[in-house]
Structure 1
Amino acid sequence: MFGPLAPSHLLTPAEFDEITTTNYRGTWLCSRAELTHMIKQEPMKTHDGRPGNRGVIVNVASNLSLVSRPETPAYSASKAAILSMTRSDAVDYAKYNIRVNCVCPGVIDTPMTSEVTPDDPIIAVAPMKRKGTPQEVADAVLFLCSSKATFIQGASLSVDGGYVIN
């Protein structure tokens, strides 16, 4: 949930709470439930002989957890909290052979970004100069869940057309 574009002093506590509850608390509740079950299961074998694990969690943060943009304090903070939780959980659950990582999408072609046009500055600043697709984010998640990523832990993978490097 993005919420209203406004600097901190113009956001109401209710708006701040709705954004952070939806984004951060919602992600935490999902991770908590997943981890509770993953800890109890036996490690799964991989098809290619790489080390197995009890599960993989890929949280969804945002490129705004990595860089700042005007008038997004609650959204950016909620997504940065997800990134920080990802790293903490990666440390805590590695001993159970549970991998925890996150993707940080940029502007993705979804209803949330329907009003973002190709000439919008948020698109123009990214080297690839376009919106990403939901499939491109899904591909990044699939990679992090795969046995090709068995030694990746606590990472954040930007899926943003290069937005954060500019």
Structure 2
Amino acid sequence: MSMRLAGRTALVTGATSNIGRAIAEAYAAQGAHVVVSGRSAERGEEVVAGIRARGGRADFVQADLDGGAAASQTLAEQATRALGGRIDILVNNAGIYPADSTEATDEKTFDQVYAVNVKAPFFLTAAVAPAMAEAGGGAIINLGSWIARLGIPVGALYSSTKGAMETLTRAWAAEFGPRGVRVNAISPGVVLAPAPGEEHPAEVMMKGTPANRMGTPEEIANAAVYLAADESAFVHGVVLDVDGGRTTVAVVA
């Protein structure tokens, strides 16, 4: 059985835990050489060690994507070197989620969340996409969220940043698609690594959906593999809902 990403290189931000980690592991399992990026060197090296133990190729590049263009540019340069001179796949996954109400959100938090969730991937894409185009093409996958389109009473700030990323997905598809770079997004539902025997408070958000359960990081990673692979060669500018039906089907609970 041929691996779907054999010979390709990938940079995954926020890849030291949860969805980002699952995507990095799935890409490596499909033959890609992956740069695992995140703030924690300890967790990053753990992810890399696990990938290598399974026969995959991975390297860790530490990065604190604070929104500064310099930080994004530096990550792009370091990842490109680690991957042998090119990045074929970029996954903009890193983000922070303060679940505060609007009235409890101060200006410092507002600026920080937009810096990490929108400004950092904006400048990372600006650094990576032109090089992809010059090399003959590539794929960029952004992470949105179901709460960007279905309002809940907490997390307005976070959901607005994910709405911005979904809009950027369509704009970048128009900008970079003609140059050979496909840009798409994944909108996950409530996704947490399973904890046997424990019910997480967020599970109630998925009650009454067609899936009637939370998603797993691996299920989001499967979608990320599809959007990076040749099977999706004709897919541009979509936001792929991988949410158990949360945003498309009336919830009966």
SS of the residue 2:247 aligns to: helix
Change (3 A) 1:77 1:123: same
Quote the Cα distance in structure 2 between the aligned partners of 1:120 and 1:100.
31
Change (3 A) 1:77 1:103: same
1:58 equivalenced with 2:141 (yes/no): yes
Which structure has more RCO (C-alpha within 8 Å, separation ≥ 6)? Answer: 1
1:14 equivalenced with 2:108 (yes/no): yes
1:139 equivalenced with 2:242 (yes/no): no
Shift of 1:58: 0.7
In terms of fraction of residues, the more helix-rich structure is: 1
What does 1:27-46 align with in structure 2 at a 5 Å threshold?
27-42=121-136
Provide the residue aligned with 2:97 in structure 1: 2
Residues 104 and 160 of structure 1 are in contact (CA less than 8 Å); yes or no, is this contact kept in structure 2? yes
What does 1:112-127 align with in structure 2 at a 5 Å threshold?
117=200, 120-127=203-210
Unaligned runs of 5+ residues in structure 2 are 1-95
Unaligned runs of 5+ residues in structure 1 are 43-53
In terms of fraction of residues, the more strand-rich structure is: 2
Shift of 1:82: 0.3
1:79 equivalenced with 2:162 (yes/no): yes
Change (3 A) 1:126 1:76: same
Shift of 1:4: 3.0
| TM-score, normalised by the number of residues in structure 2 | 0.56
Deviating beyond 4 angstroms after TM superposition, the runs of 4 or more aligned structure 1 residues are none
Instruction: Indicate the percent of aligned positions where both proteins have the same amino acid.
Output: 28
Of 17-26 and 54-63, deviating more is: 17-26
Give the length in aligned residue pairs: 151
| TM-score, normalised by the number of residues in structure 1 | 0.83
1:25 equivalenced with 2:119 (yes/no): yes
1:90 equivalenced with 2:173 (yes/no): yes
1:57-80 Cα offsets, whole Å, 9 max, x none, are 011111112221112211011000
Change (3 A) 1:116 1:25: farther
Shift of 1:120: 4.0
Change (3 A) 1:98 1:24: same
Shift of 1:24: 1.2
